[in-house]
Structure 1
Amino acid sequence: MTKYFDIFNGDADGICALIQLRLVEPLDAELITGVKRDITLLQQVTAAAGDRITVLDISLDRNREDLQRLLTAGANVLYFDHHFAGKIPVHDNLQAMIDESPSTCTSLLVDRYLKERYSLWAIAAAFGDNLVSVAQKRCSELNLNAEDIQVLRQLGELINYNGYGSHIEDLHFHPASLFRALHHFDDPREAYDSSPEVAILASGYAADMEHINALPPILATDIAAVYQLPDASWARRTVGIFANNLSQTYPERAHLILCPDGQGSLTVSLRAAKTHPHGASAFCRRYPEGGGREAAAGINRLPEVAVTELIADFERTFGSSPRKIE
């Protein structure tokens, strides 16, 4: 008997990508997800020949060994992503649609794959993933009005906000539960208007942002800034939205956000300047548990003793004229 697995990032991009796919092809699949930074998800999968695995918005490079294990076992894998992948395996059972361009996200790749069946969900995801100009262009192509655009942006940002945290207890909803609550809405505008989960996220977001908006940088120039957040659940929930908001407000500036993970180390979020959206992934991959994409990346479990050198490295890399980062 064929088993189905849906493995997805717990942020807006992963959830909205899966919503699109399951609106087109409803399946009773095992859901495997977690907080946004929990990306080595394929290690949780045990599959056999003929089983079907859909993977959304997690780095192939970080899951390479387990992907190969599952392919060797005979599972069929459909893989969508926009993070650093490294060399993509060639295998008859693997269908990989991976694009590392800073102007796309996983939900937009799924939208293309589905021939734009549920583009509004892809637009919400793009807003949530801080691809604001890309999302606005798609809205213009669909002749959406200002109110609809605002609804899609707020929904994407709220779903994304829910994914941030060091552990599930930091979140308002487990990402799998949030997917189940939203996946039956053909139109995300209806979800925004009628979902009680979205209302709870909106209330939590407003309360958390009151804390974060008053936080000053510990270092700031015209092209680079560093922020240190406190050790609190509200800080861990807002770190991604805060980083995205900063990059929109100061598009010529790169941003480094440091947040205690509640477990004795730090979570790091990096946003390259919007005017030069490159190098974030390469920078974070210099460090253990670092990775991401060209415009936005992060590091998990950075030891506190490494913070001083990290900030110095950030200043050297992003605090001068933009250049290619190897």
Structure 2
Amino acid sequence: MHFDVFNGDADGIIALLQLRLAEPKDAQLVTGVKRDIQLLEKLSVTLGDSVTVLDISMEKNKAGLEKALAADAKVFYADHHKSGDIPQHPNLDAHIDLDANTCTALIVDKLLNGRYHTWAITAAYGDNLIAKADQLAEDAGLSSEQQAQLKELGTLTNYNGYGSKLEDLHFDPAVLFQALLAYDDPFAVIADQSSPFYVLQSAYQQDMDKALAIKPQYQSDKLGVFELPNEASSRRISGVYGNLLANQSADSAHAVLTENSDGTYTVSLRAPLNDKQGAGDICSLFPTGGGRAAAAGINALPKEQVSAFIEAVEKQYA
């Protein structure tokens, strides 16, 4: 049995897309909403099995990884999140790069020698590595119109991954991956009027219009905090909305707080684009928080801790 384990956002989906376009495999797909990152815990592997793991923190999946290796499964692991100590094991092929200006799809792109480079650029746009993606696109000779198309497809693919449960999403990430696998080239997705691109484009605009109508709950020179109501549309838009805010004001951090049904908040934090560090450290101060230097989150921040969260962000970027 082979397992493809991947984050349900643009980076995870497109990282796997490149690998399976290059080397098709009959695999059991293991994924979920973007914040469902402890995916290796769901596996039951045995001797002779193999696992591909993409865009989920090794540190957060240490127990599942060690269990898979103990079962003598072969594991290919590519990621750009916190890894912790990487196990030294002959069955582990690890490709970890914590650079704030890379993503898993770009790591895979290098391993494949740029075979599906436009897909990798699409993923970089989706992961909000806009400057990096722009440079890669220019180096590849893409026109400004083509860059805009890849940026929109990446953004929409990423948008689809946000939600507290699969029912919040327009496409199960496994279904979206399988749909996109039919296209060698991202421009072919956009050219096909029946592709998922157009479903997501319409839904994204409706959700974004709701978010843009909301005024900041807190605003300073270093931080903007926006609170979204307990609705599926809020959960879907929270991450890409945070990216949009970050790109509008590169010297400021931005936090999008989405109210959960239990009264806590799901938090999406973006570090200032001109100072892409610290977000993961801030969110890790809170029990359900974590992430990477440029972008991180908290799954359940109690309302009484919002002030402490704001204080931590202000202190980090003072």
TM-score surpassing 0.5? yes
2 CA distance for matches of 1:166 and 1:308?
24
Q: Deviations for 1:110-144, whole angstroms, at most 9, x for unmatched residues? A: 00011110011110000010000000111011100
1:123-138 equivalent positions in 2, closer than 5 A: 123-138=121-136
Question: Per-residue deviation at 1:305?
Answer: 3.0
- Look up the match of 1:152: 150
Which residue identity lines up with residue 247 of structure 1 in the other structure?
Answer: A
Asked if 1 retains the 8 angstrom alpha-carbon contact of 2:77 and 2:92, the reply is yes
* CA-CA distance at 1:228 after TM superposition: 1.0
| In 1: Cα distance, 2:177 partner to 2:190 partner | 13
User: 5 Å matches for 1:208-247?
Assistant: 208-247=207-246
* Aligned counterpart for 2:46 among listed residues 29, 45, 48: 48
Structure 1 residues 233 and 197 mapped into 2: Cα distance closer, same or farther (>3 Å)? Answer: same
Corresponding residue for 1:323? none
Query: Match of 2:247, as an amino acid?
Result: Q
**How far did 1:262 drift?**
3.2
Q: What secondary structure, in the 3-state scheme, does the structure 2 residue paired with 1:297 have?
A: strand
Please list every run of 5 or more consecutive structure 1 residues that lacks an aligned counterpart in the other structure: 321-326
Aligned residue type for 1:36? K
Letter in 2 for 1:156: G
Contact 1:281-1:291 within 8 A present in 2 as well: yes
SS at match of 1:154: helix
**Shift of residue 289, structure 1, vs aligned partner:** 2.3
Q: 1:12 aligns with which of 4, 10, 13?
A: 10
Secondary structure at 2:160's aligned position in 1? Answer: helix
- The aligned counterpart of 1:22 is 20
Q: Which residue of 2 aligns with 1:76?
A: 74
TM-score by length of 1: 0.95
Task: Tell me: CA distance 1:308–1:221, structure 2 relative to 1, closer, same or farther (3 Å).
Answer: closer
Q: Given that residues 232 and 262 in structure 1 are in contact (C-alpha distance below 8 angstroms), is that contact kept between their aligned partners in structure 2? A: no
SS in 2 for 1:172: coil
Q: Which amino acid aligns with 2:11?
A: D
Shifted more, 211-220 versus 35-44: the winner is 211-220
Alignment of 1:96-175 (within 5 A): 96-175=94-173
Give, in angstroms, the shift of residue 282 of structure 1.
1.1
Instruction: Let me know the Cα RMSD of the aligned residues.
Output: 1.1
> 1:203 corresponds to which residue?
202
Deviations 1:10-46 (A, max 9, x none): 0000000010000000011000000000000001101
Q: Structure 2 residue aligned with 1:178, among 173, 176, 179?
A: 176
**Corresponding residue of 1:293:** 292
CA–CA separation in structure 2 for the residues paired with 1:67 and 1:99: 18
Matches of 1:154 and 1:170, distance apart in 2? 21
TM-score by length of 2: 0.97
1:222 CA drift (Å) = 2.0
- Whether contact under 8 Å (1:80, 1:97) holds in the other structure is yes
Preserved contact between residue 3 and residue 28 of structure 2 (Cα < 8 Å): yes
Q: What is the alpha-carbon distance in structure 2 between the residues aligned to residue 27 and residue 261 of structure 1?
A: 38
Q: How does 1:229-308 map to 2 (within 5 A)?
A: 229-308=228-307
Aligned residues: 317
Distance in 2 (alpha carbons) for counterparts of 1:107 and 1:122: 5
Secondary structure of the 1:108 match is: helix
CA distance in 1 between counterparts of 2:287 and 2:93 reads: 29
What secondary structure sits across from 1:185 in the alignment?
A: coil
Measure, in 2, the Cα distance between the counterparts of 1:236 and 1:150.
25
Aligned-residue offset at 1:263: 4.5
Question: SS in structure 1 opposite 2:14?
Answer: helix
Larger CA deviation: 111-120 vs 187-196:
187-196
Cα distance in 2, alignment partners of residues 171 and 72 from structure 1: 35
Q: What secondary structure is seen at the aligned counterpart in 1 of 2:293?
A: coil
Whole-Å Cα distance in 2 between the matches of residues 312 and 167 of structure 1? 30
SS, match of residue 301 in structure 2: strand
Determine what percentage of the aligned residue pairs are the same residue. 47
Correspondence for 1:314: 313
2 CA distance for matches of 1:102 and 1:193?
32
Query: Once the 2 structures are TM-superposed, how far is the Cα of residue 260 of structure 1 from its aligned partner?
Result: 1.5
Contact map agreement 1:84 1:291 (CA 8 A) in 2 = no
8 Å Cα contact 2:264/2:301 also seen in 1: yes
Structure 1 ranges of 4+ moved more than 6 A: none
Distance 2:127 2:54 in 1: 14
Partners in 1 of 2:120 and 2:100 — Cα distance?
Answer: 16
CA contact (8 A) 2:222 2:314 kept: no
Q: Distance in 2 between matches of 1:38 and 1:174?
A: 13
